[in-house]
Amino acid sequence: MELTEDGFHTFSVETKDIEDGLKECTYTLTIPSGRHKDTGQYKFIAKNKYGEDECSVSSVKDHFHHVNI
């Protein structure tokens, strides 16, 4: 399932210039009011012209973790 931004899930991105004209991007998923159906495994995939990377995080209602890719 692909998660999209709605009234319960929001996304934000913070970019920072790094060496060689590249940018470092930090993406944040916010679930301000965790519901029981938000509990589960989340998989984050970042893709660009250089390839892709991914990470996963498990969540339990009212207990979410911060994960960096």
Q: Does pLDDT of 51 surpass 80?
A: yes
Q: Does pLDDT of 65 surpass 70?
A: no
The answer to whether 54 and 67 are in contact (CB under 8 A) is: no
Q: Where residue 61 falls among pLDDT bands split at 50, 70, 90?
A: low
For the entire predicted model, the pTM comes to 0.58
The answer to whether 11 and 5 are in contact (CB under 8 A) is: yes
Kindly state the average pLDDT of the residues 22-51. 82
